[in-house]
Chains A and B, each alone.
Chain A
């Protein structure tokens, strides 16, 4: 048998497919089309809704214009080659005042409710506050069998709240030598250089993505001599991650910086500044 040419074959295959048909059903127009792709035949049914609109004469006139250019041979209605109905998308509303944001608020309310419910169930054995005993900020200082008096309990509550707001990380294991009871003797025999620097380092969080090293220098310079600034950046994109470490020569200077800059609004964000040495251990 003789091999048919490529052009013949295309023609033959096209002839093999049924003719496209068009059906009008009320306000719907249903077009059934047949296509062949990768040796498989597909039946494509497209349904269009027809609408009648009253428009200005000029607009109606343009609607009746003959198509031209590459669309010269298109039939009436949109040609799927140039017009596609894309996937459903939604406008994302960003921090608008009122309106759509309510839903998010209710979600937050729910979380808050869940928290308050939990707090009724959980009570610390040391300070009687609403957290597990193992999470108590006073567990290393107080013998667990002596209950606290009222004032220190309030202090514990405050400390607890502070630790909750600063970060909700699970508490890490702290080796006995580093626990607060031994605090005074910690690292006595070690050379002081590195230790010192870490002690006089503050951690700055909630920085904006646009912040630069120079901005930080400017911000923290007034409180003492800065020995090092480390601004954490994304490895790939080089966009700041929103936190930085600033080292001073003295702890007093670091403390001074904390006193002044903590809670300071910078670039629309409230900065949080705290001693960094705890995290370094």
Chain B
């Protein structure tokens, strides 16, 4: 395969997402301008100018009309995808670490860091209320105080619009009930280290967590029951489940601050493919020269994008050999990918 190299950023990539149809790739990085690329040819639609610091999170709504970003400058920004204009800004004292549109697009959740004496908080914006879009009267709940080590580091909506699934700095997973004032329904101690990323599979029945404790775990998203575990020998920064195969993609590598003191071979910066059921590694793609911070599968499962500490986003279209892979004991025909 010949990857497309997208050079829209000057600093390390923090998050990559495809929109629902997969024609766009949204990338956020530690520089202040998130980018939007066309996934087919790598053409840049544009970038979003307005943040004053690192952008930690990015999400797009169901019909790809709005983008939400949260940054280290404490700003949560709502953008119009078609023009790149900023529609609304909500200021926070601390960084906005995670953000996500709900399934219907009616709500946005975001979480803030527990620095500067502030609590880590989860907040919900209801788009039916113009006051809330401007940042007033949000539903919110405190997760932990500034002295505790348990801030939200990854978040997803849970069960469509019903709740929020959060991954924490201390390695735990929590579910918060939106209909009951963000009451905590469940808490599971999943990992021994910070949870860097969480992603659902295609039908949201499973969620995969990527943790600094060198492993990724697949959970049942309803019960948070551990289904499969993928141990590696380096921190996992991001993990994704293929929409068409029983494949899991892990991206990671040694910590960025250790990169300069060891040789490149030690870094293990390759994207690794595991079989979801057998929990066995079957393939690697070696091309980043820094740890991979975020990975995402195209919704049709035929390509994937990875973004690294090196600031590059690479879009890989799989070779035919990947589709012809068969596994002993697996009687399986690929699911029909979205035909967009």
In angstroms, Cα B212 to Cα A207, docked, is 25
B47 contacts A70, C-beta separation under 8 Å = yes
A100 contacts B321, C-beta separation under 8 Å = yes
Instruction: Give every chain A residue within 8 A of B42 (Cβ-Cβ).
Output: 78, 82-83, 85
Chain A 57-94: CB-based contact to B (< 8 A → 1; otherwise 0): 01100110111111110100111011111111111111
Instruction: Give every chain A residue within 8 A of B222 (Cβ-Cβ).
Output: none
Min CB distance A215 to B, Å, is 15
In angstroms, Cα B313 to Cα A86, docked, is 11
In angstroms, Cα B49 to Cα A52, docked, is 32
In angstroms, Cα B325 to Cα A198, docked, is 51
Contact of B2 among A66, A67, A88 (CB under 8 A): A88
Chain B residues numbered 65-111 whose CB sits less than 8 Å from any CB in chain A: 81-85
Contact of A82 among B44, B85, B262 (CB under 8 A): B44
Chain B residues numbered 234-292 whose CB sits less than 8 Å from any CB in chain A: 262-263, 266, 270, 273, 280-287
In angstroms, Cα B41 to Cα A79, docked, is 10
Min CB distance B237 to A, Å, is 20
In angstroms, Cα B25 to Cα A83, docked, is 13
How many A-B pairs have beta carbons closer than 8 Å: the answer is 149
B45 contacts A86, C-beta separation under 8 Å = no
A58 contacts B282, C-beta separation under 8 Å = no
A71 contacts B44, C-beta separation under 8 Å = yes
B63: interface (CB < 8 Å): yes
In angstroms, Cα B38 to Cα A74, docked, is 14
Known: A95-B282, A97-B329. A69 touches B84 (CB 8 A): yes
Min CB distance A5 to B, Å, is 30
Min CB distance A229 to B, Å, is 23
Contact of B282 among A55, A69, A93, A209 (CB under 8 A): A93
Residue of B nearest to A85 (CB): B2
B1 contacts A58, C-beta separation under 8 Å = no
Considering only CB atoms and an 8 Å cut-off, how many residues of chain B contact the other chain?
59
Chain B residues numbered 306-339 whose CB sits less than 8 Å from any CB in chain A: 314, 316, 318-319, 321-322, 324-329
Instruction: Give every chain A residue within 8 A of B46 (Cβ-Cβ).
Output: 67-72
In angstroms, Cα B44 to Cα A67, docked, is 8
Considering only CB atoms and an 8 Å cut-off, how many residues of chain A contact the other chain?
44
In angstroms, Cα B266 to Cα A68, docked, is 41
B40: interface (CB < 8 Å): yes
In angstroms, Cα B82 to Cα A62, docked, is 7
B129: interface (CB < 8 Å): no
In angstroms, Cα B82 to Cα A67, docked, is 9
B325 contacts A99, C-beta separation under 8 Å = yes
Known: A70-B46, A92-B283, A92-B285. A56 touches B21 (CB 8 A): yes
Chain A 99-115: CB-based contact to B (< 8 A → 1; otherwise 0): 11000000000000000
A37: interface (CB < 8 Å): no
Instruction: Give every chain A residue within 8 A of B6 (Cβ-Cβ).
Output: 82-83
A237: interface (CB < 8 Å): yes
In angstroms, Cα B20 to Cα A104, docked, is 40
A55 contacts B2, C-beta separation under 8 Å = no
Chain B residues numbered 99-154 whose CB sits less than 8 Å from any CB in chain A: none
B21 contacts A58, C-beta separation under 8 Å = yes
Known: A92-B283, A96-B283. A53 touches B40 (CB 8 A): yes
A170: interface (CB < 8 Å): no
B285 contacts A77, C-beta separation under 8 Å = no
Interface residues of B (CB under 8 A from A): 1-8, 21, 23-24, 33, 35, 37-38, 40-49, 63-64, 81-85, 233, 262-263, 266, 270, 273, 280-287, 314, 316, 318-319, 321-322, 324-329, 340
A-B contact pairs, 21 of them (CB 8 A): A55-B23, A58-B21, A59-B21, A66-B83, A68-B47, A69-B48, A71-B45, A83-B44, A87-B2, A89-B287, A89-B316, A93-B282, A94-B281, A95-B281, A96-B280, A96-B282, A96-B327, A97-B328, A100-B325, A237-B263, A239-B266
Interface residues of A (CB under 8 A from B): 53, 55-56, 58-59, 62-63, 65-72, 74, 77-79, 81-100, 209-210, 236-237, 239
